[in-house]
Amino acid sequence: MLRSIIILTSMMLVLTAFVGMIINRRNLIVMLLCVEMIFLSANINFVYFSRFHQHVHGQVMALMIIVVAAAESAVALALMVLMYRQYHTVDSSKLVNIRG
């Protein structure tokens, strides 16, 4: 029962993130938030199954995912600041400079 709840929760988080990426495809901030949600759902699974199998290795993996997600957020936010300086918007449809 509990395992079903956790798997369903993480599955719903991933689905919500994918749907959010589709319906907010012009807004880079919300797209980045959706990526964070996908990382969170993966972490929930790692932590739950590490507890389920009585191994701590899953928690170590979750810690690494948190660190990588934080680094990814830092770089993505820096790029977004650059984009805002240049285009005065975070609309992804404005990024057409290298279109052939």
What residues line the site for other proteins (CB under 8 A)? 1-9, 11-13, 15-20, 22-24, 26-27, 29-30, 32-34, 36-37, 40, 43-44, 47-48, 50-52, 54, 56-57, 59-60, 62-64, 66-75, 77-82, 84-86, 88-91
Between 75 and 96, name the residue whose CB sits nearer to other proteins: 75
Between 60 and 99, name the residue whose CB sits nearer to other proteins: 60
CA of 67: how far to CAs of 6, 8, 29, 52, in Å? 23, 25, 20, 23
Evaluate the CA torsion angle 23, 14, 8, 66 in order and state its sign.
negative
Write down the least CB distance from residue 95 to other proteins, Å: 15
Contact partners, residue 76, CB within 8 Å, separation at least 6? 32
What is the residue type of 15? L
Report the 10 Å Cβ neighbour count for 49: 15
Between 67 and 95, name the residue whose CB sits nearer to other proteins: 67
Between 2 and 96, name the residue whose CB sits nearer to other proteins: 2
Write down the least CB distance from residue 39 to other proteins, Å: 9
Direct distance between the N- and C-terminal alpha carbons of the chain, in angstroms, rounded to an integer: 53
